[in-house]
């Protein structure tokens, strides 16, 4: 006998009408409302009496075009809202939308990797949330389905979909909640000045668009004056640069702290539920079977502090720039295995079995950072020779450039001592560095999409190779392990794996 299928139909939250056309409405809505306000307050006069009808008719005669366009926009918004429906059954989601360009999308529930509910404060106060569904198909820059729903409706949809299946209230639950200081540390690690600077400049530009370019010019001008006044002993340009970096970092840090506040993870059967966020509340439901890999990240700072951050790579999780991507924000080395065992016992971290030679591979690991360092100092010498009046600024910039390059060299030396690959209990562990961070990736064989081996002339003599592991994901994600023994690596991936 066939199982009966429950089909329920949902419509977006009414706020969707405005959210879709807000940018255009904003331009028209303010002048129209302002006009209406003046009509109302000027209608009550002690000398002429009550004149609302007269004033209103003359206002309509003057602003009829604005009112007409505003109504047209609103009608389009309503039409878009009316035609947007989601039919939910155990099999999946059937989404119908569009007024002129009709579109019907079917997302089978078996294909979801991550179902997330995102509730920014600006829509949460109206009882709305965003429901996001991601599959390995579709666009890398956008969710496969993103819709604004009532909070209750989104909960109902998740309940009907039962993502992942077979979970009852009686299913045993394991919970992980990090200490606040660990969340603070994660925010410190994951923030960078560049992102902060981008955040500030976007904010100023957006505000400038709304309040006028004069406002943006005023902010930039004030900043320039402050930089000139406070720069004691250092060139104003260098001081301004340092200020931007520090302020950018602070902004990024606060944004990251808000994003990771109230972080906690629940594990129920094959469901991993991650909740986080202060202003924007985020809740992710991930099918454990569909996790791409685990990435245990370290920076030089966390190496010194002796802590690790575990990130999760799966389709739809950490996809957007303001998404959460951590699984365990910060953990000490002693507790790493235990925390991992609690949430994802399927993943096992093993000790290095194939590793590069500390002496023979030194060049391969460090030449780039050494070359950059040398280039910075040679450039300094050349510039100082040709531009003697700028010596102070050049020296400052070189000094500022040297710090990250020495930092990078240190990371590469640590990488030389920690890089390698291993296989144990059905999981590969890949250890390598990318930029300023050190990675320990735990990946299951079925999540490896492609393996690439490259060998230079020098490596050929030593019998070594560089290994690129492509993991199964929405976009291209590679893990590059440098200068390891070719035969051993091939045996591990293509022949019989070590046990």
Nearer to another protein, 100 or 232 (CB): 100
Beta carbons within 8 Å of 420's beta carbon, 6+ residues apart: 352, 353, 354, 355, 356, 431, 481, 484
State in angstroms the smallest separation of the CB of 93 from another protein: 9
What is the Cα–Cα distance from 153 to 151, expressed in whole angstroms?
5
What is the Cα–Cα distance from 48 to 322, expressed in whole angstroms?
57
CB 87 within 8 A of CB 8: yes
What is the Cα–Cα distance from 59 to 208, expressed in whole angstroms?
30
State in angstroms the smallest separation of the CB of 214 from another protein: 36
Nearer to another protein, 295 or 474 (CB): 474
Pull the structure tokens for residue 7.
């089909």
Nearer to another protein, 106 or 220 (CB): 106
State in angstroms the smallest separation of the CB of 315 from another protein: 9
Neighbours of 436 (CB within 10 A): 15
What is the Cα–Cα distance from 411 to 216, expressed in whole angstroms?
39
State in angstroms the smallest separation of the CB of 166 from another protein: 15
| DSSP labels, 24-60 | HHHHHHHHHHHHHHHHHHTTEETTTEE-HHHHHHHHH
Nearer to another protein, 105 or 401 (CB): 105
State in angstroms the smallest separation of the CB of 258 from another protein: 33
State in angstroms the smallest separation of the CB of 100 from another protein: 5
**Residue 121: strand, helix, or coil:** helix
Neighbours of 331 (CB within 10 A): 21
Nearer to another protein, 137 or 463 (CB): 137
Nearer to another protein, 291 or 330 (CB): 291
433 has which bridge partners?
438
Neighbours of 131 (CB within 10 A): 24
Nearer to another protein, 292 or 356 (CB): 292
What is the Cα–Cα distance from 174 to 40, expressed in whole angstroms?
60
The CA-based angle 493-356-424, given to 5 degrees, is 40
Cβ-count burial of 112 within 10 angstroms (0-12 exposed, 13-18 middle, 19+ buried)? buried
State in angstroms the smallest separation of the CB of 207 from another protein: 36
Nearer to another protein, 91 or 357 (CB): 91
308 has which bridge partners?
331
State in angstroms the smallest separation of the CB of 164 from another protein: 12
State in angstroms the smallest separation of the CB of 145 from another protein: 9
What is the Cα–Cα distance from 295 to 314, expressed in whole angstroms?
11
Pull the structure tokens for residue 356.
């590069």
| DSSP labels, 295-344 | EEEE-HHHHHHTEEEEEEEBTTBT-STTS--EEEEEEEHHHHHHHHHHH-
What is the Cα–Cα distance from 264 to 319, expressed in whole angstroms?
19
CB 271 within 8 A of CB 107: no
| Residues lying near another protein in the complex (CB under 8 A) | 91-92, 98, 100-108, 110-111, 135-138, 144, 289-290, 446, 472, 474
Nearer to another protein, 45 or 104 (CB): 104
Nearer to another protein, 289 or 392 (CB): 289
Nearer to another protein, 474 or 488 (CB): 474
What is the Cα–Cα distance from 306 to 431, expressed in whole angstroms?
17
State in angstroms the smallest separation of the CB of 472 from another protein: 6
What is the Cα–Cα distance from 93 to 87, expressed in whole angstroms?
6
Nearer to another protein, 150 or 447 (CB): 447
State in angstroms the smallest separation of the CB of 287 from another protein: 10
State in angstroms the smallest separation of the CB of 423 from another protein: 20
């Amino acid at each position: 006998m066939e199982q009966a299928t429950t089909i329920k139909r949902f419509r977006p939250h009414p706020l969707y009408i405005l959210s879709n056309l807000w940018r255009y409405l904003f331009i028209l809505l303010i002048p129209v409302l302002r006009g209406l306000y003046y009509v109302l307050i000027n209608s009550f006069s002690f000398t002429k009496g009550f004149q609302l009808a007269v004033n209103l008719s003359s206002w309509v005669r003057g602003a009829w075009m604005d009112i007409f366009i505003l109504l047209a926009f609103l009608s389009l918004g309503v039409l878009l809202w009316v035609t947007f429906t989601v039919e939910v059954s155990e099999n999946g989601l059937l989404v119908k939308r569009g007024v002129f360009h009709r579109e019907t999308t079917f997302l089978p529930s078996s294909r979801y990797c991550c179902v997330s509910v995102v509730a920014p404060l600006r829509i949460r106060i109206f009882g709305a949330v965003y429901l996001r569904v991601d599959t390995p198909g579709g666009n890398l820059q956008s969710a496969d389905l993103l819709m604004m729903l009532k909070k209750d409706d989104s909960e109902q949809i998740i309940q009907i979909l039962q993502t992942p299946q077979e979970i009852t209230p009686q299913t045993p639950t394991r919970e992980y909640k990090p200490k606040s200081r660990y969340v603070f540390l994660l925010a410190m690690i994951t923030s960078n000045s560049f992102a902060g600077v981008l955040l500030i400049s976007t904010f100023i530009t957006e505000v400038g668009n709304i309040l006028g370019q004069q406002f943006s010019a005023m902010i930039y001008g004030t900043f320039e004056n402050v930089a000139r006044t406070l720069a004691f002993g250092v060139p104003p340009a260098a001081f301004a640069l340092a200020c931007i970096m520090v302020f950018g970092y602070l902004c990024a840090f606060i944004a990251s702290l808000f994003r990771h506040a109230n972080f906690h993870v629940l594990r129920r059967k094959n469901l991993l539920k991650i909740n986080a966020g202060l202003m924007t509340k985020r809740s992710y439901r991930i099918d454990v079977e569909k996790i791409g890999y685990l990435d245990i990240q370290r920076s030089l700072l966390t190496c010194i502090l002796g802590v690790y951050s575990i990130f999760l790579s799966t389709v739809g999780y950490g996809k957007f720039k303001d998404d959460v991507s951590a699984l365990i924000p910060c953990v000490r080395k002693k507790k790493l295995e235990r925390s991992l065992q609690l949430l994802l016992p399927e993943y096992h971290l093993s000790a290095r079995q194939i590793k590069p030679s500390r002496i023979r591979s030194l060049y391969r690991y460090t030449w780039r950072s050494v070359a950059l360092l040398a280039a910075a100092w040679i450039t300094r010498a050349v510039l100082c020779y040709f531009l003697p009046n700028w010596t102070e600024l050049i020296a400052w910039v070189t000094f500022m450039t040297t710090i990250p390059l020495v930092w990078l060299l240190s990371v590469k030396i640590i990488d030389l001592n920690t890089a390698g690959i291993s296989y144990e209990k059905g999981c590969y562990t890949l250890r390598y560095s990318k930029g300023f961070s050190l990675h320990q990736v735990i990946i299951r064989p079925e999540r490896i999409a492609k393996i690439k081996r490259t060998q230079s002339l020098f490596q050929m003599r030593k019998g070594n190779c560089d290994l690129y592991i492509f993991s199964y994901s929405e976009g291209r994600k590679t893990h590059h392990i440098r200068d390891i023994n070719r035969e051993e690596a091939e045996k591990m991936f293509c022949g019989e794996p070590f046990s």
